[in-house]
Amino acid sequence: MLNHLPGVFIVSDSIGETAEMVVRAAASQFNSGTMEIRRIPNIADTDTLDEIVHQAGTSHAIIAYTLVIKELAEHLRAEALKYNVVCVDILGPLMEAFKSVSEIEPKREPGLLRKVDEMYYRRVEAVEFAVRYDDGKDPRGINLADIVLVGVSRTSKTPLSMYLAHKRIKVANVPLVPEVTPPEELFKVERGKVIGLTINPEQLNHIRAERLKTLGLKGQASYANPDRILEEIEHSRTIMKRLGCPVIDVTNRAVEETASKILEIYYRRLSNV
C-alpha cells in the first residue's frame, strides 16, 4: 500500500488542461508533498492508449482522462479494466447528466472549450485595439488593423469600431478634417482595408447641433455650420477618391446595418486574397 499519492497520467484528445486542473485540485486535499503528473495530449489512436495503460500499470499510476471521442474513451476503459488500472473519467458523468436532462446529444468534438476561450480573448484584444487606435490617436494602428474606417466627425466611426471589435475584428478609425493632412499610412495599406463613411449633410447638421446642445454649446458653432459641413464632406470625398476605397452612406442607417455592409466588404476582400 502506498503512503503517498500515486502518479497520474493525464490523457486527452485535446490539450488535457481541464483534467490536470481537476487532478491538482483533488490532490491538494491530501498532505502528501509532490506528485508526478504526466500529460499526454492530442490522443488520436488506440495504440497510444494501450501504451499508456501499460506504463500506468507498471508504475502503479492513475489515469485521469478527458476523451470526448466515444470510441477512444471506451477503449481506454476496457484496457484499464483488463490490467486493473484505476481510470477516472473527468467529463463523462457530467456530459451524460446534461444529455439526460436536456435530451441533446453532445458534439463530442475535442478542444471546444479552448476554442471558446480563444474567441473570448480575441474579442477582448479587438476591443482594446479599437480603444487604442480610436479617432486617429496613433497612425501605427492603420497597418495593424483588419479594417480602417475614415470619415468626417459623427459618421459613427467609433461605435462601428466597437461593434466590430465584439466580432473579433481589429478596427482603427481616422477622422478626415480639411485642416489636417491624413496620415501617409492610409495610402500605403493594402487595397480594400480602408472603408469610407459618408452622410447626408442635412442629417449631419442635425446630429452635430444636437451634440452641441448636450455639451451646452450654441448651435451656431462652426462644428454645426452648414457651409463648414459641406466643406468637410467634399474634402472627405476627395480623400476617399484618392484612397480608392469603398464608401458607405450611413444616412439613416443603424450601426448594425452599416456594420453588416462593412463585414460584406471585409469578407469579400479576404476571399480574394
> Tens digit of pLDDT for each residue in 56-108?
999 999 999 988 888 999 999 999 999 999 999 998 888 888 888 888 887 77
At residue 220, the pLDDT reads 53
At residue 17, the pLDDT reads 83
Percentage of the chain lying above the pLDDT 90 cut: 62
CB 150 within 8 A of CB 186: yes
At residue 18, the pLDDT reads 83
Mean pLDDT of 125-135: 94
Least confidently predicted of 14-18, 82-86, 140-144, 193-197: 14-18
Mean pLDDT of 148-162: 97
At residue 111, the pLDDT reads 64
Q: Residue 154 pLDDT > 60, yes or no? A: yes
Mean pLDDT of 148-159: 97
Report pTM: 0.62
Determine the 3-state secondary structure of 129 from DSSP.
helix
The larger pLDDT score, comparing residue 177 to residue 14, is at: 177
CB 141 within 8 A of CB 147: no
Q: Residue 115 pLDDT > 80, yes or no? A: no
Q: How far apart are CA 166 and CA 183, in angstroms?
A: 26
At residue 98, the pLDDT reads 81
Among residues 86, 90, 100, 121, the alpha carbon closest in space to that of 13 is found at: 90
Least confidently predicted of 82-91, 102-111, 188-197, 246-255: 102-111
Q: Residue 114 pLDDT > 70, yes or no? A: no
Amino acid in the structure at residue 225? N
At residue 259, the pLDDT reads 95
Mean pLDDT of 126-141: 94
At residue 47, the pLDDT reads 94
Buried b or exposed e, range 29-51, using 16+ CB within 10 angstroms: eeeeeeeebebbbebeeeeebee
* Mean residue pLDDT across the chain: 89
Write phi, then psi, for 211 (nearest 5 degrees): -65, -45
Other C-beta atoms lying within 10 Å of the C-beta of residue 104: 9
CB 199 within 8 A of CB 229: no
At residue 219, the pLDDT reads 53
Q: What confidence tens digit (pLDDT) does each residue in 196-235 have?
A: 999 999 999 999 988 888 887 765 568 889 999 999 999 9
Mean pLDDT of 11-15: 87
Q: Residue 16 pLDDT > 90, yes or no? A: no
Strands (E), 111-212: 147-151, 171-175, 194-198
